[in-house]
């Protein structure tokens, strides 16, 4: 082989290697140069705790800074994601459906897609154990927090009251977030409060440790009436006996919860975030028990919104 031929062969091998490296190179990581926000919720709720530990895991494993935002809940989270103020966030399925349709709290459709279905959230209607209130109808005329303005809790509370033939205007609603609702019930400043969240919700667990509580039932007929008016987004369920130190069985309704992102979020960010989520779920679950409910096989069922392209790539790789 002549010297010239050896030089040409060497050049071709270098070019081939360069092409191969380019094909294997990671996607553009320009997003890693700035802080990425996760829309969480109130500091006493599951969303915030989940987001806090998720942000720590993402920051450690992806070499970028992620931080959780304290928010009013699902509606607020979806608005932040839709406007680009957060790249990921948590939201109830009913709020997601409204955001896609541009109805309810959303004057227009938001550019959102799903990264994963996470777990089911339980409707809590919390009263003190010594309260005379035994059913939803008895909330009429009483001081009841329906949740913070801009939260998914508020929407669910109003739907339940209406389905139980209680005019939401007939309750004195101070519109408190979870932390303030807990404090107000502890001080007997309210008779009850609504909450929608995973089990156990940390703030309610803390409340039950020093203030005995009960949970009002959401009867099957009320669940059916809510579903008839709102496209079947809810299902019947029972609180486990022993939850929050309560020995009696309580029926309620649940709504699925999603990890949501913008339609134009970087593919690599969403793909890698899901890899961290499922790789670290056992560790995160020691601090946030609902994380243990994550199931990769169920995570793809995100109707009424499609999966982000980065999520599709992740699930195809891990289901293969």
Q: Could you read off the pLDDT of 256-293 as tens digits, one per residue?
A: 999 999 999 999 999 999 999 999 999 999 999 999 99
| Closest alpha carbon to 47 in 57, 36, 55, 59 | 55
Quote the CA–CA distance of 159 and 230 in Å, as a whole number.
9
User: What is the average pLDDT score of the chain?
Assistant: 90
pLDDT in the model for residue 150: 73
Higher pLDDT residue, 36 or 199? Answer: 36
Q: Does residue 206 carry a pLDDT above 80? A: yes
Tokens encoding 45? 């709720």
pLDDT in the model for residue 23: 36
Rounded to the nearest 5°, which phi and psi values hold at 181?
-65, -45
Quote the CA–CA distance of 70 and 56 in Å, as a whole number.
15
Quote the CA–CA distance of 320 and 315 in Å, as a whole number.
8
DSSP conformational letter for 171: S
pTM exceeding 0.85: no
pLDDT in the model for residue 49: 95
Q: Strands 112-128 and 250-262: what pairing? A: antiparallel
Taken in order 244, 247, 253, 259, the sign of the CA dihedral is positive
Quote the CA–CA distance of 252 and 123 in Å, as a whole number.
6
Mean pLDDT for 61-75 is: 95
- In the chain, the N- to C-terminal Cα span, in Å, equals 46
Cα separations in angstroms, 236 against 7, 217, 298: 73, 11, 19
Helix (H, G, I), strand (E, B) or coil at 217: coil
Please state at what angle helix 152-163 crosses helix 220-229, rounded to 10 degrees. 110
For residues 18-53, one letter each, b for 16 or more C-beta atoms within 10 angstroms of the residue's C-beta and e for the rest, the string is eeeeeeeeeeeeeebeeebbbbbbbbbbbbbbbbbb
**Band (224; pLDDT cuts 50, 70, 90):** very high
Cβ contact 277:293 at 8 Å: no
Q: Does residue 220 carry a pLDDT above 90? A: yes
Beta bridge partners of 236: 253
pLDDT in the model for residue 230: 79
Q: Does residue 231 carry a pLDDT above 90? A: no
Tokens encoding 208? 């039950």
pLDDT in the model for residue 31: 92
Q: Does residue 115 carry a pLDDT above 60? A: yes
- State the burial class of residue 15 (Cβ atoms within 10 Å of its Cβ: 0-12, 13-18, 19+): exposed
Beta bridge partners of 128: 213
| Closest alpha carbon to 315 in 273, 284, 282, 287 | 273
Domains of the chain, CATH where assigned = 31-118+257-319 (3.40.190.10), 121-256 (3.40.190.10)
Q: Does residue 152 carry a pLDDT above 60? A: yes
């Amino acid at each position: 082989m002549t010297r010239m031929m050896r030089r040409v062969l060497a050049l071709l091998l270098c070019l081939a290697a360069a092409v191969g490296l380019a094909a294997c190179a990671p996607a553009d990581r320009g997003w890693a140069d700035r802080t990425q926000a996760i829309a969480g919720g109130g500091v006493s709720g599951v969303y915030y705790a989940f987001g806090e530990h998720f942000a720590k895991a993402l920051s450690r494993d992806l070499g970028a800074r992620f931080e959780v935002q304290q928010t009013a809940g699902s509606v607020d989270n979806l608005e932040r994601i839709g406007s680009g103020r957060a790249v990921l966030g948590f939201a109830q399925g009913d709020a997601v459906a409204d955001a896609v349709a541009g109805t309810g709290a959303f004057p227009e459709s938001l550019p959102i897609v799903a990264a994963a279905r996470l777990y089911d959230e339980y409707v809590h209607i919390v009263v003190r154990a010594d309260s005379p209130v035994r059913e939803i109808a008895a909330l009429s005329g009483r001081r009841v927090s329906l949740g913070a303005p801009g939260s998914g809790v508020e929407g669910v509370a109003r739907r339940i009251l209406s389905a139980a033939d209680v005019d939401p205007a007939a309750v004195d609603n101070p519109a408190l977030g979870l932390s303030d609702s807990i404090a107000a019930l502890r001080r007997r400043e309210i008779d009850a409060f609504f909450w929608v969240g995973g089990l156990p919700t940390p703030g309610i667990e803390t409340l039950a440790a020093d203030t005995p509580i009960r949970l009002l039932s959401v009867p099957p007929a009320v669940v059916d009436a809510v579903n008839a008016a709102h496209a079947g987004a809810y299902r019947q369920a029972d609180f486990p006996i022993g939850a929050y130190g309560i020995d009696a069985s309580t029926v309620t309704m649940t709504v699925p919860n999603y990890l949501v992102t913008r339609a134009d979020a970087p593919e690599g960010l969403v793909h890698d975030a899901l890899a961290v989520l499922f790789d670290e779920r056992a560790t995160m679950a020691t601090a946030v028990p609902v994380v243990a409910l994550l199931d990769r096989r169920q995570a793809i069922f995100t109707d009424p919104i499609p999966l982000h392209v980065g999520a599709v790539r992740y699930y195809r790789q891990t289901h293969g």
